[in-house]
Structure 1
Amino acid sequence: MSSIKIACATLNQTPLDWKGNLEHIKSAIKEAKADNTDLICFPELAITGYGSEDLFLSYWFPQKAVKQLEKLLPFCGGITVAVGLPIRIQEKVYNCMAIIEDHQLKGIVAKQFMAIDGVHYEFRWFTPWQAGEVISFDFLGHSVPMGDLVFEKGGYKYGFEICEDAWRGDVRPGFRLRDRNVQLIFNPSASHFAMGKTKLREELVCKSSQLFNATYFYVNLLGNESGRMIFDGEIMVADKGRLLLKNTLLSFKDFQVKYFEVPKGIQSDLSLESEVDKNEEFVQAASLGLFDYLRKSKSKGFVLSLSGGADSSTIAVLVAEMVRRGIEELGLTVFMNKLGLTYIPTSENTKKEIVGKLLTTAYQASENSSFATFQSAKTLAESIGAVFRHWEISDEVKGYTEKIEKAIGRRLHWKTDDITLQNIQARARSPIIWMLANINQALLLSTSNRSEGDVGYTTMDGDTSGSISPIAAVDKYFVIQWLKWAEVTLGYKGLHKVNNLQPTAELRPSDNQQTDEKDLMPYSVIVEIEKLAIRDRRSPMDVYLILKDELEVESSVLKDYVRKFFRLWSRNQWKRERLAPSFHLDEFNVDPKTWYRFPILSGGFEEELKELDNY
């Protein structure tokens, strides 16, 4: 049996960008053909993009996807191409891989299991295919087999497990492929990025190759495709339980092609198999997510209300990293062209100049803002090259306050109107920073983190204002340690002042000595409660019983923390419903659109929390 050369190609696609998506596929095919490749496999739903959502339900959208497939045929001479698209048959839509060989559609394989957990909602759009079923599909007047199929190339039998198919244990298609003596199994996927997830995939790919006695290929989509989910573009090959090929993830390129010869194989760079650093994964994914969001929204840059605190400082550094990593991988010209910008650098420090063109920051001081946070914001902005502006909002706050005092016939006081007086400061900042974003034709970056989303520690139409919320899916405890890592490991010395500040909203008078953890609870406790309550869906009593053995916190204090978390969580679902779109970056998030759905109105766990009183 002769050897065959196989290519796996990851793609950065965009829903409804028919021309761009097709060009990426054609370019990857062209590159693979130039390298004498026999077969190239693309990811799941590569023609349309995975994030097309309810477009899949329309009649015209799957039909147009088939028309795009037809346009690919002339480019598939002398090569076999496997590419993903939706196929509609009467009232049902199927998630499929089309196999083209020498200009002809050879067959269509349909996905058998739908992902329905976490960020996935596939049952809304697609119908699972029945194992063993094969029908005829009319394509350009010719009958083409569709369903549970295997194919042959160069004496090798090959088949498919499409993404979720591979995660279904004893009922996964791989077992039937093994029984049919398939030697090559492809897993075309649209698997969202999450920190640490690559290790799980490695285990799956290696175990699958051993379990099915086959060379196992995995290929994933790439980039921030449609706003929220980020795909890491992972490509892996394993045989006999050993990982043989793995690429570098989260590329800024439109596509990547990696090659593997069967049965010869290619040993991967062992450095790619080292332990995953979540700090590095976070900055890689978030910077790529920002880059794709910026260019696909056709905006001219970012605007950020830079408070000098942890959250806004994290986002400023992510933008700087977007510029650094993008230029290093793509080169300055390609990087700028992809953003639709033209600019000729005038100094040797090109990256700082580009940051200055793309990021405008503003420090908006109220009467309760400190000189320390002003210095923190100014130092960081200048160190990365961002435009830094600052102004006072005292007149605006005074104007709003005097108007409401006149209307209600009394003065507002901190003792009786604490939340009102705090919130007006945050809200007064919103209109003017939006003006700056509009003037710059830029995206306003919201600074909320997941811990704040848990308990509603945000001001609606204030610090929640924004076009995109880059860190809303990561907890504050992670953010705080990441900033210290970024100062040292990434070399952002401008973070030194930030890292020496206690997190605070700075909305109460300074003699109050307001801090976030004083208002709420330690962030280290919030993250432990949310993992159990939100990720694991545990009851208040379960959370308490588990944490009382894990945390060195007095029982009565821990009960108070648990009560506060659950009451604030249930009370603030309406806020989470209105937060700006966010990237999915961690193993879970609190966005009701993409992970955790919760009723806006509820009984607030009151009966469950009473159980704590009696324990």
Structure 2
Amino acid sequence: MRRIRLALAQLNMTVGDLEGNAKKIKAAIVRARAQHADVVLFPELAVSGYPPEDLLLKPDFIDANRRALDDIRKETDDIVAIVGFPSADDYDIYNAAAVLQNGRLVGEYRKHYLPNYSVFDENRYFGEGQESPVFDFGGDIVGVSICEDIWYPSGPPQWQALAGGAELLVNLSASPYYRGKPHERARMLATRAADNVAVVAYCNLVGGQDELVFDGGSMVFAPDGHMLARAPLGEETLLVVDVSLDEVFRKRLHDPRRRKDVELAKHFGRIVPRLEGEPLRGVSAREETEPREALVAPYPDDLEEVYRMLVLGIRDYVHKNGFEKVVVGLSGGIDSALTATLAVDALGPDNVVGVRMPSRFSSEGSLRDAEELAVNLGIRLLTISIEPPFEGYLEALKEVFAGREFDVTEENIQARIRGNYLMALSNKFGWLVLSTGNKSESAVGYATLYGDMAGGFAPLKDVYKTLVYALATWRNTLPDGPVIPHNTIVKPPSAELRPGQQDTDSLPPYEVLDAILRLYIEEDYSPTDIVAQGFDPTTVERVIRMVDRSEYKRRQAAPGVKITPRAFGKDRRLPITNRYRSRA
């Protein structure tokens, strides 16, 4: 029986930490070998971390990656390790996978399809691979591909299976998360396995990198498309699974349609060289006669999935950038409450500091809500009034503002004093400021530059207001809850920068606003198309005008975790200076 044991090393790498990444890879090889794995897989660009961006333009960085790979190669006695790294020749650099066995480089696979959409810029850095080699380990044929290559039905994995006879298709990936993507990925991989009548093993990166968060969820599928194993979302894991290549052979014998596909692949001249490795030991060569039961981790529900990814993004941004503690301005509102709760879940209560900054317009209810939240979370709470400096501003500007009514100017002064307070605490104590704005506010510019937008990281940057409420409500259902005060969730949202202020004074209800924003920002619907969905034309025109006019603010905002298919930042790139306006 031809049965081999795979280990998928779902690891959290750090961009540029070549020594640390190599150490993790070598440790995973040791663990895989201890579990008698024949082949261990690693994520895309595991050596460099993903995405390395303009580090790839530094020749010394490319050289250092090769040295790190050579160090890893020496640890591959009695095992095959397939490791993602940036490779170079005399002509270009490539997003590559090194196939290592018994201390030698058996060969490389170079990524063919270089994504250049959404958050990806791979055409900026890499040359395209031209060959789709298969690796022959004593008759066990393995095809290797990288991330985007497997998303195409007629991509390199298909050529490897048809023209190269690969029975096991492995894919190294660094696939960023957005809401619902794990399910999309699973459907696609199941289809690739069934269409190619092959075992498909997919090893994904996990962890946060700037605005991106990688969810992991590495998977293995049988040749009929059913799932054999799945790693947990958001956790480092060594997923071990036994796969049968005899099953692949039997299924192919019973599917005569493949013969036509094989002839077509050969006719079109796909370049599929065969590189020779040494035979795998195989599970059957050991005493084990039955396949070991593999982990199939359950998927969390929708809100838990999003919440876990936000927590992971915060934790990695803070720790990978050398911070220990964060500080959050607590207004008593829903955004700051959810931000602080996420931070505590990511970093622990001892590493989160809350700050109340009351003014003459702060309600007693909001002050109580902020205090109750701090008590529930077990975090330190500071209270620093903004009244003295606000009075100073009003006095200093009295003559210049003479005859002018109180307006957004005075509101923004309050927000900027609070931003100054938080940045002063950051400077003095080394705490990272978490700004608390959400995607709805950022979209329409309902935020103050250098005020509530001040901060080093914005956890809710890609979270619409309606989702903020849903996540807060979900979090309160956990065994340690409710932690977010009920009053914070049910009271009308307000910036409390003038008497009786509510968000609906300036914005449509969030249920309406968020629906319009999704259509305009994520789907690029025109105003006419949005109105056709049943929205009031005047409201649609007003919302779109606010979105278009606020691009300059968003460019100056802190980075934050991407959880939607189209986030602000590098995912959505519009010119600031721009006279085009969408109209109904």
Q: What amino acid does structure 2 have at the position aligned with 1:502?
A: P
State the Cα deviation string for residues 356-385 of structure 1 (Å, max 9, x = none): x20111111111111111111100011111
Partners of 1:562 and 1:172 lie apart in 2 by 45
Partners of 2:372 and 2:401 lie apart in 1 by 44
Quote how far apart the aligned CAs of 1:497 are. 2.4
Aligned counterpart, 1:372: 365
Q: What amino acid does structure 2 have at the position aligned with 1:432?
A: Y
1:97 aligned counterpart, secondary structure: strand
Alignment of 1:184-199 (within 5 A): 184-199=168-183
Contact 2:84 2:96 in 1 (8 A): yes
Partners of 1:567 and 1:460 lie apart in 2 by 19
Q: What amino acid does structure 2 have at the position aligned with 1:315?
A: T
Q: What amino acid does structure 2 have at the position aligned with 1:596?
A: R
Aligned counterpart, 1:318: 342
Quote how far apart the aligned CAs of 1:440 are. 2.4
Q: What TM-score do you get using the length of structure 2 for normalisation?
A: 0.89
Contact 2:134 2:142 in 1 (8 A): yes
Contact 1:469 1:581 in 2 (8 A): yes
Partners of 1:604 and 1:503 lie apart in 2 by 33
1:250 counterpart = 2:234: yes
Q: What amino acid does structure 1 have at the position aligned with 2:326?
A: F
Alignment of 1:266-345 (within 5 A): 272-273=297-298, 276-323=300-347
Aligned counterpart, 1:413: 405
Quote how far apart the aligned CAs of 1:168 are. 2.1
RMSD (Å), alpha carbons: 1.7
Partners of 1:476 and 1:244 lie apart in 2 by 38
% of aligned pairs identical?
A: 31
Quote how far apart the aligned CAs of 1:577 are. 0.3
Partners of 2:553 and 2:210 lie apart in 1 by 20
Q: What TM-score do you get using the length of structure 1 for normalisation?
A: 0.84
1:232 counterpart = 2:221: no
Contact 1:301 1:440 in 2 (8 A): no
1:600 counterpart = 2:583: no
2:357 aligned counterpart, secondary structure: strand
1:95 aligned counterpart, secondary structure: strand
| Greater helix proportion | 1
Contact 2:98 2:108 in 1 (8 A): yes
2:6 aligned counterpart, secondary structure: strand
Change (3 A) 1:456 1:288: same
Change (3 A) 1:307 1:16: same
Change (3 A) 1:23 1:176: closer
Quote how far apart the aligned CAs of 1:202 are. 0.9
Quote how far apart the aligned CAs of 1:490 are. 5.2
How many corresponding residue pairs? 537
Q: What amino acid does structure 1 have at the position aligned with 2:395?
A: E
1:47 aligned counterpart, secondary structure: coil
Aligned counterpart, 1:395: 388
1:488 aligned counterpart, secondary structure: coil
1:541 counterpart = 2:528: yes
Contact 1:28 1:256 in 2 (8 A): no
Partners of 2:160 and 2:167 lie apart in 1 by 12
Partners of 1:93 and 1:68 lie apart in 2 by 16
Partners of 2:545 and 2:15 lie apart in 1 by 39
Contact 2:41 2:203 in 1 (8 A): yes
Partners of 1:269 and 1:66 lie apart in 2 by 34
Change (3 A) 1:94 1:265: farther
Partners of 2:546 and 2:153 lie apart in 1 by 38
Contact 1:161 1:174 in 2 (8 A): no
Change (3 A) 1:409 1:29: closer
Partners of 2:143 and 2:479 lie apart in 1 by 43
Aligned counterpart, 2:449: 460
Quote how far apart the aligned CAs of 1:268 are. 5.2
1:159 counterpart = 2:136: no
Aligned counterpart, 2:272: none
Contact 1:8 1:259 in 2 (8 A): yes
Partners of 1:300 and 1:245 lie apart in 2 by 35
Q: 1:586 aligns with which of 553, 557, 564?
A: 564
Aligned counterpart, 1:55: 55
Residue segments in structure 1 that go unaligned for 5+ positions in a row:
134-147, 324-353
State the Cα deviation string for residues 142-194 of structure 1 (Å, max 9, x = none): xxxxxx21002353100122100111233454244333211000111000011
Partners of 1:508 and 1:169 lie apart in 2 by 58
Contact 2:109 2:145 in 1 (8 A): no
Aligned counterpart, 2:475: 486
Contact 1:283 1:321 in 2 (8 A): no
Alignment of 1:552-567 (within 5 A): 558-567=536-545
Quote how far apart the aligned CAs of 1:84 are. 0.5
